[in-house]
Amino acid sequence: MPGWSCLVTGAGGFLGQRIVQLLVQEKDLKEVRVLDKVFRPETREEFFNLGTSIKMTVLEGDILDTQCLRRACQGISVVIHTAALIDVTGVNPRQTILDVNLKGTQNLLEACVQASVPAFIYCSTVDVAGPNSYKKIILNGHEEQNHESTWSDPYPYSKKMAEKAVLAANGSILKNGGTLHTCALRPMYIYGDRSPFLFNEIIRALKNKGILNATGKFSIANPVYVENVAWAHILAARGLQDPEKSQNIQGQFYYISDDTPHQSYDDLNYTLSKEWGLCLDSSWSLPLPLLYWLAFLLETVSFLLRPFYNYRPPFNCHLVTLSNSKFTFSYKKAQRDLGYEPLVSWEEAKQKTSEWIGTLVEQHRETLDAKSQ
């Protein structure tokens, strides 16, 4: 791998930034190229203040712009593709989600063939495996079980089809006569400091007298800390470039979890924020079957109103199932093929995330104090 280079798409995002921070510590890396639609000024500054001699190239461009992708891929050894539109509630139009997640991935694969990029790592999601029903329990699942999402909702469907495209592209002949090698990583629900989902939950709770929403109390999940997911991508990049390891990795997908205790999503939010006085909503909530049928009813109303009015339900059947299923996976295959071991322990991940939540709580208090003066 002497003098290799890496392009990270979605590099301005929650996971993308962590991947870049770990990449610049890699030996023999000569350039990191970061691509996103828009970078916040503070993100640009962070990239250029990483204290590395590795060349850092910041590119702003659309994943649907084929010319932009072709330029971004020129001279690159490895592409790590994390750019995606994550939307499980239908905020964005279906076609927009399909365009970004599926067509964008297909565009990038084609750009890799044209620019002769030999390695492609796709950040997929556990959503491509399900859960398909809150009644079905899957604990410590693994890759050989062939779990596949049956949802037609745009996010899980687009990610599933994009992953299939990536794995099918393994072995494609590049323009220079070389071969494209691909793999996909399926992280569990990713948490950690700067998580946009956790940020929204905490801000919502602070506006509601410190009471956290109870939306996933029936679940058993194995959340994974963001830095451990980033580390798995680094190991995949190393592995696909290693002639010995690559044979086992090409065309494969891997579940990425860590040693975070299996727990409900509600318990995770509470554990990470209780130090700052936040608590779970203890009021009565609908039984899960009723909640599911209410979601179905709301989706039906939305469908019937669509010709006249764009009604977006506050939750849907997919979200209710996703938030309330017993659905966990082992990282043993990644351990075997990639040499993956979590970089960050549960205790350290919990502390880092809790400290960040503390800064949000402090900022909220300062805002309230300023308004009351």
Query: Rounded to the nearest 5 degrees, what angle is found at the Cα of 253, between the Cα atoms of 250 and 257?
Result: 135
Length of the chain: 373
C-alpha–C-alpha distance, residues 23 and 27, integer Å: 9
DSSP string, 214-241: -S-TT-BB--EEHHHHHHHHHHHHHHHH
C-alpha span between 210 and 361 (Å, rounded): 9
**Rounded CA gap, 47 and 43, in Å?**
6
Is 155 one of the annotated active-site residues of the chain? Answer: yes
Do 327 and 254 contact (CB within 8 A), yes or no?
A: no
CA-nearest of 200, 269, 257, 254 to 223 is 257
SS3 275: helix
Q: Are 190 and 226 in contact (CB under 8 A)?
A: yes
Write down the catalytic residue from 122, 155, 255, 292. 155
CA dist., res. 212 & res. 201, Å (int): 7
Q: Which residues are catalytic?
A: 155
